[in-house]
Chains A and B, each alone.
Chain A
Amino acid sequence: METKQTLNNGAAAAAILAAGIGSFAFGAAVCLAQAVKAVGNFFTFSVAVGPLSGKTSVGIVVWVAAWLILGRMWKDRQVSLGKVFSLTLVLIALGLLATFPTFFDMF
Protein backbone atom coordinates (compact mmCIF):
# COMPACT_ATOMS: atom_id res chain seq x y z
CA MET A 1 0.00 0.00 0.00
CA GLU A 2 1.27 3.40 -0.98
CA THR A 3 1.75 6.01 1.72
CA LYS A 4 1.35 9.67 0.91
CA GLN A 5 3.64 12.15 2.59
CA THR A 6 1.76 15.43 2.94
CA LEU A 7 3.72 18.66 2.97
CA ASN A 8 2.55 21.71 4.88
CA ASN A 9 1.06 24.25 2.49
CA GLY A 10 3.16 27.17 3.80
CA ALA A 11 5.64 27.14 0.92
CA ALA A 12 2.82 27.09 -1.65
CA ALA A 13 0.97 29.89 0.13
CA ALA A 14 4.18 31.95 0.27
CA ALA A 15 4.81 31.54 -3.48
CA ILE A 16 1.19 32.37 -4.34
CA LEU A 17 0.89 35.42 -2.07
CA ALA A 18 4.32 36.72 -3.12
CA ALA A 19 3.16 36.64 -6.76
CA GLY A 20 0.17 38.76 -5.72
CA ILE A 21 2.36 41.19 -3.78
CA GLY A 22 4.78 41.50 -6.72
CA SER A 23 1.88 42.14 -9.11
CA PHE A 24 0.47 44.82 -6.82
CA ALA A 25 3.90 46.45 -6.35
CA PHE A 26 4.36 46.60 -10.11
CA GLY A 27 0.95 48.22 -10.53
CA ALA A 28 1.72 50.71 -7.77
CA ALA A 29 5.05 51.56 -9.44
CA VAL A 30 3.26 52.20 -12.75
CA CYS A 31 0.77 54.61 -11.12
CA LEU A 32 3.48 56.30 -9.08
CA ALA A 33 5.67 56.84 -12.14
CA GLN A 34 2.69 58.32 -13.95
CA ALA A 35 1.62 60.57 -11.07
CA VAL A 36 5.04 61.90 -10.00
CA LYS A 37 7.38 62.95 -12.79
CA ALA A 38 10.44 62.66 -10.54
CA VAL A 39 9.59 59.03 -9.81
CA GLY A 40 9.16 58.37 -13.52
CA ASN A 41 12.60 59.87 -14.14
CA PHE A 42 14.08 57.88 -11.26
CA PHE A 43 12.66 54.68 -12.74
CA THR A 44 14.56 55.26 -15.97
CA PHE A 45 17.23 52.70 -15.10
CA SER A 46 17.86 52.21 -18.82
CA VAL A 47 17.66 55.24 -21.11
CA ALA A 48 16.76 53.07 -24.11
CA VAL A 49 13.86 51.38 -22.29
CA GLY A 50 12.69 54.37 -20.24
CA PRO A 51 10.70 54.21 -16.99
CA LEU A 52 9.46 50.70 -17.80
CA SER A 53 12.89 49.38 -16.78
CA GLY A 54 12.49 50.74 -13.25
CA LYS A 55 8.83 49.87 -12.86
CA THR A 56 9.45 46.23 -13.74
CA SER A 57 12.58 46.10 -11.58
CA VAL A 58 10.60 47.36 -8.58
CA GLY A 59 7.93 44.72 -9.17
CA ILE A 60 10.51 41.93 -9.42
CA VAL A 61 12.50 43.03 -6.38
CA VAL A 62 9.36 43.29 -4.22
CA TRP A 63 8.12 39.91 -5.53
CA VAL A 64 11.40 38.13 -4.75
CA ALA A 65 11.74 39.82 -1.34
CA ALA A 66 8.15 38.93 -0.41
CA TRP A 67 8.70 35.34 -1.52
CA LEU A 68 11.89 35.00 0.54
CA ILE A 69 10.33 36.54 3.66
CA LEU A 70 7.01 34.65 3.47
CA GLY A 71 8.79 31.46 2.47
CA ARG A 72 10.94 31.63 5.59
CA MET A 73 8.00 32.58 7.83
CA TRP A 74 5.64 29.87 6.54
CA LYS A 75 8.18 27.17 5.67
CA ASP A 76 6.89 24.54 8.08
CA ARG A 77 3.44 25.93 8.69
CA GLN A 78 -0.04 25.04 7.57
CA VAL A 79 -1.83 28.27 6.66
CA SER A 80 -5.34 29.10 5.45
CA LEU A 81 -4.81 28.71 1.73
CA GLY A 82 -8.33 29.96 1.01
CA LYS A 83 -7.62 33.31 2.66
CA VAL A 84 -4.16 33.57 1.10
CA PHE A 85 -5.56 32.81 -2.34
CA SER A 86 -8.41 35.33 -1.97
CA LEU A 87 -5.95 38.02 -0.89
CA THR A 88 -3.70 37.12 -3.82
CA LEU A 89 -6.57 37.51 -6.28
CA VAL A 90 -7.38 40.94 -4.84
CA LEU A 91 -3.73 42.02 -5.13
CA ILE A 92 -3.46 40.74 -8.71
CA ALA A 93 -6.73 42.48 -9.63
CA LEU A 94 -5.47 45.77 -8.16
CA GLY A 95 -2.17 45.35 -9.99
CA LEU A 96 -3.97 44.70 -13.28
CA LEU A 97 -6.24 47.70 -12.72
CA ALA A 98 -3.25 49.93 -11.96
CA THR A 99 -1.56 48.95 -15.23
CA PHE A 100 -4.68 49.62 -17.33
CA PRO A 101 -3.99 52.81 -19.33
CA THR A 102 -7.42 54.36 -18.78
CA PHE A 103 -6.85 54.03 -15.03
CA PHE A 104 -3.25 55.18 -14.69
CA ASP A 105 -3.82 58.08 -17.11
CA MET A 106 -6.09 59.58 -14.44
CA PHE A 107 -3.03 60.34 -12.32
Chain B
Amino acid sequence: MSLTEREWWAVLHGMCLGALFLLAFSGVLIEFWTMRSNLVTAEGIRKSVRRAIVGTWVMAIVAWLTVITGTYIVYPWYRAKPPVQPAPTAAIVSPEKTDLAYYPKAYLVANPKTAQWHNFGMEWKEHIAWFSPILATAVAFVTSRYRQQIAYDNLLRWSLMTIFVISFAAAGVAGLFGAFITKAAPLY
Protein backbone atom coordinates (compact mmCIF):
# COMPACT_ATOMS: atom_id res chain seq x y z
CA MET B 1 0.00 0.00 0.00
CA SER B 2 1.93 3.01 -1.24
CA LEU B 3 1.61 6.10 -3.37
CA THR B 4 4.06 7.59 -5.85
CA GLU B 5 5.21 11.19 -5.49
CA ARG B 6 2.79 12.22 -8.23
CA GLU B 7 -0.07 10.45 -6.54
CA TRP B 8 0.73 12.20 -3.26
CA TRP B 9 0.57 15.58 -4.98
CA ALA B 10 -2.68 14.64 -6.69
CA VAL B 11 -4.10 13.61 -3.31
CA LEU B 12 -2.97 16.88 -1.70
CA HIS B 13 -4.43 18.91 -4.58
CA GLY B 14 -7.77 17.17 -4.92
CA MET B 15 -8.58 15.21 -1.79
CA CYS B 16 -7.03 17.49 0.84
CA LEU B 17 -7.11 21.08 -0.41
CA GLY B 18 -10.01 20.82 -2.88
CA ALA B 19 -12.13 18.76 -0.52
CA LEU B 20 -11.42 21.14 2.39
CA PHE B 21 -12.66 24.06 0.32
CA LEU B 22 -15.85 22.27 -0.68
CA LEU B 23 -16.53 21.02 2.85
CA ALA B 24 -15.96 24.42 4.48
CA PHE B 25 -18.44 26.07 2.12
CA SER B 26 -21.65 25.01 3.85
CA GLY B 27 -20.42 26.21 7.25
CA VAL B 28 -19.48 29.66 6.00
CA LEU B 29 -22.66 29.98 3.96
CA ILE B 30 -24.73 29.28 7.08
CA GLU B 31 -22.87 32.10 8.87
CA PHE B 32 -23.79 34.54 6.11
CA TRP B 33 -27.35 33.25 5.93
CA THR B 34 -28.01 33.67 9.64
CA MET B 35 -26.04 36.92 9.99
CA ARG B 36 -29.17 39.08 10.09
CA SER B 37 -29.72 41.92 12.50
CA ASN B 38 -33.38 41.00 12.99
CA LEU B 39 -32.59 37.40 13.91
CA VAL B 40 -29.43 37.53 16.00
CA THR B 41 -28.28 39.65 18.92
CA ALA B 42 -25.35 42.05 18.55
CA GLU B 43 -23.15 39.59 20.42
CA GLY B 44 -24.35 36.77 18.17
CA ILE B 45 -23.53 38.81 15.09
CA ARG B 46 -20.06 39.58 16.43
CA LYS B 47 -19.33 35.88 16.91
CA SER B 48 -20.84 34.98 13.56
CA VAL B 49 -18.71 37.61 11.81
CA ARG B 50 -15.58 36.28 13.50
CA ARG B 51 -16.32 32.76 12.26
CA ALA B 52 -17.14 34.08 8.77
CA ILE B 53 -13.85 36.01 8.58
CA VAL B 54 -11.80 32.95 9.56
CA GLY B 55 -13.85 30.70 7.28
CA THR B 56 -13.69 32.91 4.20
CA TRP B 57 -9.93 33.52 4.54
CA VAL B 58 -9.23 29.83 5.06
CA MET B 59 -11.29 29.07 1.97
CA ALA B 60 -9.60 31.78 -0.10
CA ILE B 61 -6.12 30.57 0.88
CA VAL B 62 -7.06 26.93 0.30
CA ALA B 63 -8.54 27.85 -3.10
CA TRP B 64 -5.29 29.57 -4.12
CA LEU B 65 -3.20 26.61 -2.94
CA THR B 66 -5.50 24.23 -4.82
CA VAL B 67 -5.24 26.02 -8.17
CA ILE B 68 -1.51 26.68 -7.82
CA THR B 69 -0.63 23.07 -6.96
CA GLY B 70 -3.05 21.88 -9.63
CA THR B 71 -1.73 24.13 -12.37
CA TYR B 72 1.99 24.17 -11.63
CA ILE B 73 2.62 20.72 -10.12
CA VAL B 74 -0.05 18.20 -11.16
CA TYR B 75 -1.13 19.58 -14.55
CA PRO B 76 2.36 19.44 -16.16
CA TRP B 77 2.45 15.69 -15.37
CA TYR B 78 -1.03 15.28 -16.81
CA ARG B 79 -0.24 17.07 -20.09
CA ALA B 80 3.33 15.75 -20.57
CA LYS B 81 3.89 14.45 -24.08
CA PRO B 82 5.02 10.85 -24.51
CA PRO B 83 8.42 10.44 -26.18
CA VAL B 84 8.27 10.21 -29.97
CA GLN B 85 8.65 6.65 -31.18
CA PRO B 86 11.22 5.88 -33.87
CA ALA B 87 9.67 4.70 -37.11
CA PRO B 88 9.87 0.93 -37.40
CA THR B 89 12.54 -0.25 -39.81
CA ALA B 90 13.62 -3.64 -41.05
CA ALA B 91 16.33 -3.64 -38.39
CA ILE B 92 13.88 -2.78 -35.59
CA VAL B 93 11.09 -5.22 -35.90
CA SER B 94 9.19 -4.35 -32.72
CA PRO B 95 10.11 -0.96 -31.28
CA GLU B 96 9.45 -0.56 -27.58
CA LYS B 97 6.02 0.94 -27.12
CA THR B 98 5.45 3.90 -24.81
CA ASP B 99 3.08 3.12 -21.99
CA LEU B 100 0.49 5.89 -22.36
CA ALA B 101 -0.79 5.17 -18.88
CA TYR B 102 2.02 7.47 -17.66
CA TYR B 103 0.76 10.27 -19.92
CA PRO B 104 -2.89 10.83 -18.93
CA LYS B 105 -3.73 13.44 -21.56
CA ALA B 106 -2.21 11.40 -24.38
CA TYR B 107 -3.94 8.30 -23.03
CA LEU B 108 -7.34 9.99 -23.01
CA VAL B 109 -7.15 11.64 -26.44
CA ALA B 110 -5.77 8.47 -28.07
CA ASN B 111 -9.15 6.80 -27.68
CA PRO B 112 -12.30 8.44 -29.14
CA LYS B 113 -14.31 6.94 -26.28
CA THR B 114 -12.27 8.84 -23.66
CA ALA B 115 -11.14 11.89 -25.65
CA GLN B 116 -13.99 14.05 -24.34
CA TRP B 117 -12.67 13.67 -20.80
CA HIS B 118 -9.80 15.84 -21.95
CA ASN B 119 -11.35 17.90 -24.75
CA PHE B 120 -14.33 18.94 -22.65
CA GLY B 121 -13.70 17.88 -19.05
CA MET B 122 -10.10 18.94 -18.52
CA GLU B 123 -10.41 21.99 -20.76
CA TRP B 124 -13.31 23.21 -18.63
CA LYS B 125 -11.80 22.20 -15.30
CA GLU B 126 -8.41 23.85 -15.81
CA HIS B 127 -10.10 27.18 -16.57
CA ILE B 128 -13.17 27.35 -14.35
CA ALA B 129 -11.15 26.46 -11.24
CA TRP B 130 -9.37 29.83 -11.38
CA PHE B 131 -12.59 31.77 -10.77
CA SER B 132 -12.85 30.28 -7.33
CA PRO B 133 -9.87 31.89 -5.54
CA ILE B 134 -10.46 35.29 -7.13
CA LEU B 135 -14.09 35.39 -6.02
CA ALA B 136 -13.38 33.84 -2.60
CA THR B 137 -10.67 36.45 -1.93
CA ALA B 138 -13.09 39.29 -2.71
CA VAL B 139 -15.63 37.80 -0.28
CA ALA B 140 -13.00 37.33 2.44
CA PHE B 141 -11.73 40.90 2.06
CA VAL B 142 -15.18 42.48 2.23
CA THR B 143 -16.15 40.30 5.21
CA SER B 144 -13.08 41.33 7.19
CA ARG B 145 -13.44 44.99 6.26
CA TYR B 146 -17.16 45.45 6.89
CA ARG B 147 -17.68 42.95 9.72
CA GLN B 148 -20.98 43.59 11.57
CA GLN B 149 -22.12 46.02 8.88
CA ILE B 150 -22.85 42.97 6.70
CA ALA B 151 -25.65 42.00 9.09
CA TYR B 152 -27.32 45.39 8.68
CA ASP B 153 -26.81 45.76 4.91
CA ASN B 154 -28.91 43.14 3.12
CA LEU B 155 -27.68 44.05 -0.35
CA LEU B 156 -24.05 43.68 0.71
CA ARG B 157 -24.78 40.37 2.45
CA TRP B 158 -26.65 38.98 -0.55
CA SER B 159 -23.92 40.17 -2.91
CA LEU B 160 -21.30 38.34 -0.86
CA MET B 161 -23.41 35.19 -0.61
CA THR B 162 -24.01 35.14 -4.37
CA ILE B 163 -20.33 35.59 -5.22
CA PHE B 164 -19.47 32.99 -2.61
CA VAL B 165 -21.90 30.48 -4.16
CA ILE B 166 -20.43 31.12 -7.64
CA SER B 167 -16.94 30.57 -6.21
CA PHE B 168 -18.12 27.27 -4.73
CA ALA B 169 -19.88 26.20 -7.93
CA ALA B 170 -16.71 26.85 -9.95
CA ALA B 171 -14.67 24.77 -7.50
CA GLY B 172 -17.39 22.10 -7.56
CA VAL B 173 -17.25 21.73 -11.35
CA ALA B 174 -13.45 21.58 -11.24
CA GLY B 175 -13.47 19.05 -8.41
CA LEU B 176 -16.10 16.87 -10.05
CA PHE B 177 -14.25 16.69 -13.36
CA GLY B 178 -10.97 16.21 -11.52
CA ALA B 179 -12.41 13.12 -9.84
CA PHE B 180 -13.84 11.73 -13.09
CA ILE B 181 -10.67 12.38 -15.07
CA THR B 182 -8.51 10.79 -12.37
CA LYS B 183 -10.80 7.77 -12.55
CA ALA B 184 -10.51 7.60 -16.35
CA ALA B 185 -6.75 8.25 -16.45
CA PRO B 186 -4.99 8.08 -13.06
CA LEU B 187 -1.74 9.94 -12.54
CA TYR B 188 1.00 7.43 -11.72
Contact = CB atoms under 8 A, between A and B. Distances in A.
- Chains A and B bind each other: yes
Interface of A: 2, 4, 6-7, 9, 11-12, 15-16, 18-19, 22-23, 26, 30, 46, 48-50, 52-53, 55-56, 59-60, 63, 81-82, 85, 88-89, 92, 95-96, 99-102
A53 B137 CA distance: 20
Interface stretch (B8-16, B18-26, B71-79, B178-186): B71-79
Given A18-B138, A101-B120, A46 B72 contact: yes
Given A56-B71, A101-B120, A4 B152 contact: yes
A22 B133 CA distance: 11
B69 interface: no
Dominant secondary structure at the B interface: helix
A99 B67 CA distance: 16
B130 A96 contact: no
A71 B17 CA distance: 30
Contacts of B148: 4
B42 interface: yes
B33 interface: no
B138 A15 contact: yes
B79 A50 contact: yes
Contacts of B141: 15
B162 A101 contact: no
B138 to A, nearest CB: 4
B71 A12 contact: no
Interface of B: 42, 67, 71-72, 75-76, 79-80, 119-120, 123-124, 126-128, 130-131, 134-135, 137-138, 141-142, 145-146, 148-149, 152-153, 155-156, 159, 162-163, 166, 170
A99 B42 contact: no
A52 B138 contact: no
For the complex of A and B, 9 pairs with smallest distance between CB atoms? A48-B76, A99-B127, A19-B138, A101-B123, A85-B159, A12-B142, A15-B138, A15-B141, A101-B120
Interface of A is mostly: helix
B75 A52 contact: yes
Given A16-B163, A59-B134, A99 B146 contact: no
B156 A63 contact: no
Contacts of B124: 99-101
Contact of B42 (A2, A48, A82, A100): A2
Given A2-B42, A11-B145, A16-B138, 12 more contacts: A4-B148, A18-B138, A19-B138, A22-B134, A52-B126, A52-B127, A56-B67, A88-B159, A92-B131, A96-B128, A99-B128, A100-B124
